[in-house]
Chains A and B, each alone.
Chain A
């Protein structure tokens, strides 16, 4: 079976600075993979490259085949058809990822409408509204009608991230890219969002590319990880293997740091 996403020799450059160099990995349908690295390691650049949304002044070489189609060098029209269908993205900062002047229900309705139209339907307003409320229920937002009628600044940070996830789900993508989706949230909310993402990915059978600098967080939701540093892949493997016996010094320091942090907090470590 061919992979849903196959990245071969991806190199991303901004001017003469190399942000990602010669990166290769693939994600099969329904598979869950994590990209780990500290800030500036090229994690988000990789994600943006996959969606073909890098700014024009950044050059991309190599090959990214998403759902059987080449992304690198593809034109806008082509990419637009691919976005939403094959991938959707959940971002780090839930407040800025939502349009401040548009009611939440309306923001979710747009991808829903586009998806239904793509399937050849001419959806009625009532059908779209029903689906929007369904989605809000699915991401476990209470009082979905009230939330749908609210502006983003009128709900809490965790709720906003749930809304962002609902927006991504509205597309019914085959690959969900989550770019540090819990970093801006407090620890309790973090755990809830992770549990939600985990459940949704299992339930819908989509593949997940989870990007984070936080090892314990990554370990909770993915099966396979890749460790990035300065745009270079250091190692890749099953979560258990990489965390139990890291083969690279850098990974070891990351794991040790996470463990020390856990111990300092009085936790038992994982």
Chain B
């Protein structure tokens, strides 16, 4: 046997075009968001030019009706979007995966009750739920929006986790692992979570995109982050009145929003292909 036989032939991980574009768009967003922590082109809160200026070398995307630099606000909006997406998905994943795994282990009756509850929660419109939570809290804040979206996502994640975990738990290798003395928590950590992760991670990426859109919608309705926190949704809403005289103000945050969400979706698509070692083989 030659030395070459010592390695398994795995096709080089094919990074699809979708994954590359997705990574680039999301990466750009993250880079910009990090940059705003240290530097922005102008002070986001104070006028730095004339009102509703057209794009120029000084103000690449122009200024709003108070003379504030649009680019600065869009850059800070990227930070808001990332915080909302990450926060909501983190909350949704923590609650959702925990509940889903518990439901998969629960007795028949409890499982049925949980499944029905989740279905009802999912049927409830996300935005409406978010508006209720935001209205219930003292004042509209970024955190109440994140919490509301996180709760909505957790229902979806819990339902998905429950189904995936049940399917894994029926597999022979779970029994095989149990016969060698692995405890249930050990089975969950070693077998269930790794086996449902490829599907879950794709779902997380999709939910991230949806959370960003939902936050923009909430902000547009005045229920998201209150001023002076810049948010793409609020930029859109503020630009609404001047959309005919200064269309850039509406177009620019719109493009930023769409770019991040498309990037996230492409990333999800690409993740699906690289997440599973059994994929990409001849089928």
Interface residues of A (CB under 8 A from B): 51, 53, 76, 80-85, 87-89, 91, 93, 96-102, 110-111, 114, 142-143, 145-146, 149-151, 153-154, 164, 167-168, 170-171, 177
Cα-based distance from A10 to B281 in the complex (angstroms)? 46
CB pair B179 A83 closer than 8 Å = yes
CB pair B176 A89 closer than 8 Å = yes
CB pair B5 A153 closer than 8 Å = no
CB pair B277 A151 closer than 8 Å = yes
Give how many B residues have a beta carbon under 8 Å from the other chain's beta carbons.
Answer: 28
Cα-based distance from A170 to B276 in the complex (angstroms)? 27
Cα-based distance from A146 to B5 in the complex (angstroms)? 8
Contact A171 B171, CB 8 Å, known A99-B195, A150-B8, A153-B281: no
Taking CB atoms and an 8 Å cut-off, the chain B residues in 148-193 that contact chain A are 171-173, 175-184, 190-191
Shortest Cβ distance from B93 into chain A, in angstroms? 19
Contacts of B46 in A (CB 8 A): none
Contact A171 B180, CB 8 Å, known A143-B1, A146-B7, A146-B8: yes
Contacts of B179 in A (CB 8 A): 51, 53, 83-84, 87-89, 177
Can you name the residue of chain A whose Cβ is closest to the Cβ of B196?
A101
Contacts of B8 in A (CB 8 A): 146, 149-150, 154
CB pair B6 A80 closer than 8 Å = no
Shortest Cβ distance from B174 into chain A, in angstroms? 9
Can you name the residue of chain B whose Cβ is closest to the Cβ of A111?
B180
CB pair B173 A85 closer than 8 Å = no
CB pair B180 A81 closer than 8 Å = no
Contact of B180 among A145, A154, A170 (CB under 8 A): A170
CB pair B180 A97 closer than 8 Å = no
Instruction: Bits for B194-206, please: 1 = Cβ < 8 Å to A, else 0.
Output: 1100100000000
CB pair A110 B180 closer than 8 Å = yes
B245 within 8 A of A: no
CB pair B177 A146 closer than 8 Å = no
Q: Which 3 A-B pairs have the closest CB atoms?
A: A84-B181, A96-B172, A83-B181
Shortest Cβ distance from B11 into chain A, in angstroms? 11
Contact of B181 among A81, A145, A146, A164 (CB under 8 A): A81
